[in-house]
Structure 1
Amino acid sequence: MNLLNSKAQTVDVSKLKPASRTDTSFVVGIGDTQSYLPITIFKGKEKGPVFTIVAGIHGYEYPPIVAVQELINEIDVQTLKGTLIVLPMANVGAFYGRTPFLNPLDGKNLNNAFPGSANGTVTEQIAHLISTVIIPQSDVFLDIHAGDANEDLLPFVCYYNNTSTPKQTALARTLSLASGFEYVVAYPYTLTETEPAKYAFKQATQKGITALSFEAGKLGNVQIDQVRAIKVGVYSLLSHLKMQPLKNISKVKTISLNSQAYIKVPQSGLFYSKLKAGDKVKKGEKLGYISNEFGTKLEDVVSTADGIILYKVGTPPVNKGETLFCIGY
């Protein structure tokens, strides 16, 4: 492993040799919180787009990490057109600490830290490096997630409907439709130029980069079919961008979901529900209920929209204010 000097942590992909693979890392944090951000860069034999893939923003979301581990051993620079930047494990501290959502080195959520800070905590430094070194060099930015330890999730691909950059948004939708995922989710985009983006692919969107995200896998486990779905999605995007040929991948009929209803936890307690991600629900339908530690029922949870459950809390403990359900429609 080549740990770059902390005073010169940058890489110019345009200066890398064609038909090469570079494995390196950026140092992040200081003292007891020091960690690193691993990066693999594939420079194709021929010129083409710069496509960035990020996995492991959340270290407990294993299917994206496992899928990308397989991908980096399959990419052939001899047939690759363009450059592929891969961050195979963006949150090393959370991965090895087996920590849902938060980096145990500073207790912060990388998926809530963008654009980050050069002089901040380890999580903020990771976000800063991705924001200032990786995203600006990207033509297309893909952020891959899964359901974390407590999240039951329906596999889908998503992008932000940023009307201020119609060309990039149109390509994000086109790539989403070509990804092989059945469900294509468009999120509203209302961010101003000065507001913190918080999320990695929203940071890329804010900076005018074509960006999208895969969501595949759930409940902090490795599902082999979801690992494969992620890999199929990546290879489908590479094919659409004419970076590598695609073989033996069948097309799927897509379902577009352009609106979302978020149901928050009304009060802390134990959550009970027979529903799962992918189930269809009706407005006013009872989705489950919350009890206290003595088993006394506190409150029913009711759907606020007709639609399909994109993700939900899939384990008993819930805290007031958390997202309990996301319903797409």
Structure 2
Amino acid sequence: MEPLLIAGHEIKAGETKRIEIPMVRLYTDTTMSIPVYVKRGKRNGPTLFLSAAIHGDELNGIEIINRIINSKAIRTLKGTLIAVPMVNVYGVLNQSRYLPDRRDLNRSFPGSQRGSLAARMAYTFLNEIVAKADYGIDFHTGAIHRSNLPQIRANLDDAETLDLAKAFGIPVLLNANLRDGSLRQCAADLGTKILLYEAGEALRFDELAIRAGVKGAIKVMRHLGMLNKSKARVKKEIEPYIARQSGW
């Protein structure tokens, strides 16, 4: 396996590292950075990224990723896992969906090296993380006082993405159109297959949604051959319902 380079940090086969990707400084001259956890197996396999809190008030994904990176299941990892529990660090600190200038980070991709804070963050995340992955799972919740039924949103017209969505193992899959400026759209342009997991509401930890997210991500990793198959008795999977539209 070739060494992986993220933000100037080299991660070799068999290594686990926690990296800080520096962003801009606050008006207090405090440097803000995005925390990244990277685990590389000793054997070849796909590269999967996990991301959460692109909207800073969506908390379930933070705990989902925290549980995954501390799980015994990933000890036998093949390939590479790149986990980013807080993409929009500013929003998390301020309990806000948006960045300080009220821009939506998930409408700011692919971004640019120069420009608004959102543009620079989007550019860095896309090029340092997403472009280096074969697959991705992005974790979201509903808005404030709006709770989403656990669901996968993805381009289900793509056969491989549909297989990944089914492997996640939740009852509802939504064939969602790509939105301009979204992470999903830019990941698709790069050839990275991506699932978006929606469950629960903003500013709340929902234990059922978190457990489903952890189990689903582990199932996807097993489907990709990154983890050993479970030795536990496998329950018969329910065929998911595929929706073509959604509403409140």
TM range (shorter): 0.7 to 0.9
**Structure 1 segment 109-124 matched on structure 2, within 5 A:** 109-124=104-119
- Between 1:145-154 and 1:57-66, the stretch displaced more is 145-154
CA contact (8 A) 2:59 2:202 kept: no
| Residues 15 and 40 in structure 2, CA contact (< 8 A), matched pair in contact too | yes
Please say if residues 52 and 138 of structure 1, whose CA atoms lie closer than 8 Å, have aligned partners that are also in contact: yes
Distance in 2 (CA, whole Å) between partners of 1:83 and 1:153 is 30
Q: Does 1:136 align with 2:119?
A: no
Contact 2:134–2:191 (CA under 8 A) maintained in structure 1: no
Rate the CA distance shift 1:96–1:246 in 2: closer, same or farther, 3 A.
farther
Query: Could you say which residue in structure 1 is the equivalent of 2:238?
Result: 252
Moved over 4 A (4+): 75-78
How well do the aligned residues superpose, as a CA RMSD in angstroms? 2.2
Further displaced range: 76-85 or 86-95: 76-85
2:45 paired residue number? 48
Change (3 A) 1:237 1:77: closer
Equivalent residue, structure 1, for 2:174: 185
Larger mean Cα displacement after TM superposition, 211-220 or 56-65: 211-220
Measure the CA separation in 2 of the matches of 1:9 and 1:245.
27
**What runs of 5+ residues in structure 1 fail to find an aligned partner?**
1-7, 163-168, 192-196, 261-309, 311-325
Q: 1:227 matched to which residue of 2?
A: 210
CA distance in 2, matches of 1:75, 1:206: 34
Aligned length: 239
SS at match of 1:102: coil
Query: Which entry has the higher C-alpha Rg, 1 or 2?
Result: 1
Alignment of 1:1-329 (within 5 A): 10-11=7-8, 16-32=11-27, 34-74=31-71, 78-99=75-96, 101-104=97-100, 106-161=101-156, 169-189=158-178, 197-247=180-230, 248=232, 250=235, 251-257=237-243, 259-260=244-245, 310=246, 326=247
Task: Between the two structures, name the one with larger relative contact order (CA 8 Å, sep ≥ 6).
Answer: 2
> Can you list the C-alpha shifts for 1:297-319, whole angstroms capped at 9, x where unaligned?
xxxxxxxxxxxxx5xxxxxxxxx
Normalized against structure 2, the TM-score is what? 0.88
* Higher strand fraction (1 or 2): 1
Conserved 8 A contact 2:57-2:202? no
TM-score for the superposition, normalised by structure 1: 0.67
Question: Identity over the aligned pairs, expressed in percent?
Answer: 25
Unaligned runs of 5+ in 2: none
Is the CA contact 1:49–1:139 (under 8 Å) kept in the aligned structure 2?
yes
Structure showing the higher helix proportion among its residues: 2
